[in-house]
Chain A
Amino acid sequence: MTRNPGQWLQGSGPESDIVISSRIRLARNLADFPFVGQASEADHQRIEEVLKNAVLGIEDTSRLLYIEVEDLASVDRQFLVERHLISREHAESQGIRAVAIDGGERFSIMINEEDHLRIQVMRSGLSLDETWEEINRIDDHIESNVTYAFHEKLGYLTACPTNVGTGMRVSVMLHLPALVLTRQIDKVFRSLQKISLAVRGLYGEGSQAMGDFYQISNQITLGRSEADLIQQVHDIVPVIIDYERQARDFLIKESHENLHDRVSRAYGILRTAQTISSEETMHLLSSVRMGVNLGLISDLEIPVLNELFLQTQPAHLQKLTGVELEESDRNIERARYLRRHLHGHAKGNELETN
């Protein structure tokens, strides 16, 4: 898993210069157990047993990676967070909990997170309908083996009333560097909030918008069908893409030298730095990514960049080097990694890990 990016990071799919990935998650709970926060240790164990059995039948078990999160070293938990396979809460909380991950990283299922079950399906680019079909299939399969907590009026019941109803969060991750650069991003967010869409950073609630990546998702889960919720996000994404393209055109036309300078300097620093933080790396990679999309840099490809975003994060870097590193050593190792992969990088070259 270390050496390959997940399916959703392939950088393919419709509008993939701006739309990184589509994802849908469903929150579900068993009817006959207290919610996770109120459940005893024995309950947690039984919930995990029941759901493990239900989840393992989804597909050929050899393709499914089933992990007890409590048994993982902290660097491995962080690694799964960086790949969006588990939430930060799931990595950091206590007690018996697990995650089942599909071999192609097209879905992950968390057990005993905030809800008994958090099913998540992800795809590269803008591909919500396919994502929904897959998650609906998984949900049906699990449902045939257990009884979900469901209310005749309120729908699927969740530990937090913000998720009640469909229990569904539809989100699309976008790369919006030009809207950030032209200071229009806040305006876009305010208008999204007016129509009940939420904007979050790269790692969800409360996380900062690292590398100009933003997740747009539905705020409301009750009173609208799954199809409507998907449609709402689906309809707004082209509008934001259009804003981002306009902002990019504006930068190209009105301040071409400044933009080209910014992109080239970013590329230069990444290729020559001797020590570099994760934050600065994300920031610079974001400029380079936009530069590649605008044709200002011609010897790099988007999938390579997408992978660099992932591999330069703290846990990934430590998995690649095979040792746990202090922050200052990580910064040196990160710079070395970037120099190695960006120096004289020719088109079509595969990333190598050594």
Chain B
Amino acid sequence: MKCQKCDKPATFHITELTDGNPQELHLCEEHARQYLSQSSASQLESGNVAAVLAQQMAQHMAVGQTAEELARLDRQVCPVCGISFYDFRSQGRLGCPHDYRCFEQQLNALILNIHGETEHIGKVPKSGAQASKQRTQLIQLRREMKEAITEENYERAGQLRDTIQRIEQGDDPSKTPD
């Protein structure tokens, strides 16, 4: 799909819900940036980040092709920590690092709206992004192990414990697992 304002591909799909009737916009990054900065200029006047964020969530967070799509995205759940996108919208805080991946589509426009940028420039930890991704799996594995124990599925719990230990020791030999 092409951007409504130029010939570039539309990578941002924004549904405005301001007056009750959803209005769909399909824009390239540049035009999305322009659109979002215009519509949030008045909110920024207040200088209150929390208020701006809440506003943005009510309006531009409606990212998706249609209202049904929006409802579907709201119900999407992070497999790692179990938070739904609706939970994030209502409390304003994400549940775990993986949310930035599984809610990427929804968060894209919000992040562009807040920062006017989409890519980090600056300090990078020595262990890098890959180590981080690998360790984030531990959140899910620990959760699954707890569930397996509750279900008295000890064989599965044992397998999970081994996997957890391997990851915990593998990428960080300085730490000992509990």
Interface of A toward B, CB cutoff 8 Å: 29-35, 37-38, 46, 50, 114, 136, 139, 143-145, 147-157, 159-162, 164-166, 189-190, 193, 196, 198-200, 205-206, 219-228
Contact = CB atoms under 8 A, between A and B. Distances in A.
B111 A154 contact: yes
Interface residues of B, number: 52
Interface stretch (B6-14, B44-52, B155-163): B44-52
A180 B73 CA distance: 47
Interface string B150-171: 0000000000000000001001
B1 to A, nearest CB: 22
Q: Which of A32, A37, A225, A226 has the most CB of B within 10 A?
A: A32
A225 B122 contact: yes
7 contacts: A34-B81, A147-B131, A148-B132, A155-B122, A157-B132, A160-B94, A161-B110
A160 B132 contact: no
A289 to B, nearest CB: 25
A222 B97 contact: no
Contacts of B94: 35, 38, 159-161
B92 interface: yes
A222 B120 contact: yes
A199 B49 CA distance: 10
A223 B121 contact: yes
Contacts, number: 161
Interface string B75-117: 0000011110000000111111100110000010011001111
Interface of B: 44-45, 47-50, 53, 80-83, 91-97, 100-101, 107, 110-111, 114-129, 131-133, 135-136, 138-139, 168, 171-172, 174-175, 178
Given A31-B136, A189-B47, A224-B122, A37 B93 contact: yes
